[in-house]
Amino acid sequence: MAAISAQDLLAQLQWRYATKEFDPAASIPADTWDALEQSLVLTPSSFGLQPWKFLVLTDPAKKEALLAHSWNQRQVVDCSHFVVFAAPSAIGNDTVQSWIDCLASSRDVPAESLHGYQRVMEGFLNQLDEQQRLAWAHRQIYIALGQLMTSAALLGVDACPMEGIVPAEYDRVLALSSRNLTTSVACALGYRADHDKHALLPKARFHRSEVIEHHA
């Protein structure tokens, strides 16, 4: 059953935009942020493998340390919550084992009963080289980015996805490399500043007929 009308959904997707200026005084309330974290946790992924970590930065000093590695985009420091999406740089049978253990526990079945599924996942990952596995993980992470931005829009929270960052520097500042993690993308969340003129620009997209093709 629908939880919202199509009109209301689209109104929120029209309302959102890549926020250029956040109101540094506006914090996301704890219960709203809690829901956004849960939307991240609930993100679907290929095989359910969830190849990700989400770092949530609210500490001003830590956000400040990333500013220089973010093309000096002020959203990093002015937002309420800054999320860094990290991918595991080594994905393999251990990753699959963790997931099988989680699945067995949540379904209350022995891990051995999921052996066939485990072999399928291992087979999938083992046919990819390291770089391809990482590319696969990055793609899954972008599902999470999509789900987070859509969820934020629905809850009236502004967001700015940020690819304009230097992943290697993020990895260094956040000490990710030693933990076999590597930065994928980031997203600033909070509330738009009243004076952000980007909020007033008409939303620009290719015409629907240019991107959607019906095979009916």
Evaluate whether 187 touches 162 at the Cβ level (below 8 Å): yes
- Please state at what angle helix 6-15 crosses helix 130-154, rounded to 10 degrees: 110
CB-wise, 21 or 86, nearer to its own copies? 86
Evaluate whether 204 touches 96 at the Cβ level (below 8 Å): no
How far apart (Å, rounded) are the C-alpha atoms in residues 35 and 40? 9
In whole angstroms, the minimum distance from the beta carbon of 195 to its own copies comes to 19
Q: Do you know the residue count of the chain?
A: 216
> Phi/psi at 201 (nearest 5 deg)?
-65, 140
In whole angstroms, the minimum distance from the beta carbon of 99 to its own copies comes to 8
CB-wise, 21 or 81, nearer to its own copies? 81
CB-wise, 38 or 180, nearer to its own copies? 38
> Phi/psi at 195 (nearest 5 deg)?
-90, 10
In whole angstroms, the minimum distance from the beta carbon of 164 to its own copies comes to 8
In whole angstroms, the minimum distance from the beta carbon of 5 to its own copies comes to 9
CB atoms within 10 A of CB 12: 17
In whole angstroms, the minimum distance from the beta carbon of 203 to its own copies comes to 7
In whole angstroms, the minimum distance from the beta carbon of 172 to its own copies comes to 15
How far apart (Å, rounded) are the C-alpha atoms in residues 137 and 20? 28
Strand partners, 86: 53, 183
**What DSSP line would sit under 144-160, residue for residue?**
HHHHHHHHHHHTT-EEE
CB-wise, 21 or 100, nearer to its own copies? 100
CB-wise, 54 or 89, nearer to its own copies? 54
CB-wise, 195 or 215, nearer to its own copies? 215
